[in-house]
Amino acid sequence: MTDKELKKLSRAELLEMLLIQSREKQHLEEELQEVKGKLEEKEIRIAEAGSIAEAALRLSGVFEAAQKAADQYLENVKRAAEGNPEP
């Protein structure tokens, strides 16, 4: 709306426009807060997923080391049973 058109409006019309704009602003602020909340929730989920994936990788390394130790133990037990000394 141009300045000229605004000058032709009555006070009541201007106040009505202001009220409409104020309501729209309030609605948009509420919507923004809702979207920010959802974004924060997603960011937390992404961070947690990263932590879970990292923990799984670390556990995988622990399991691999445990498997190697178990394999070595079994090999030593077999050698001892056969009467062969350990290398």
In order, the DSSP letters of 76-87 are HHHHHHHTPPP-
Per-residue pLDDT, averaged over 38-47, amounts to 87
Alpha-carbon dihedral angle through residues 76, 82, 83, 87, given to the nearest 10 degrees = -40
On the question of pLDDT at 70 being above 60, the answer is yes
Give me the chain's average pLDDT, please: 86
Say what the pLDDT of residue 87 is: 56
- Token pair for 13: 């019309």
Of the candidates 75, 26, 62, 40, the residue with the CA atom closest to the CA atom of residue 85: 75
On the question of pLDDT at 57 being above 60, the answer is yes
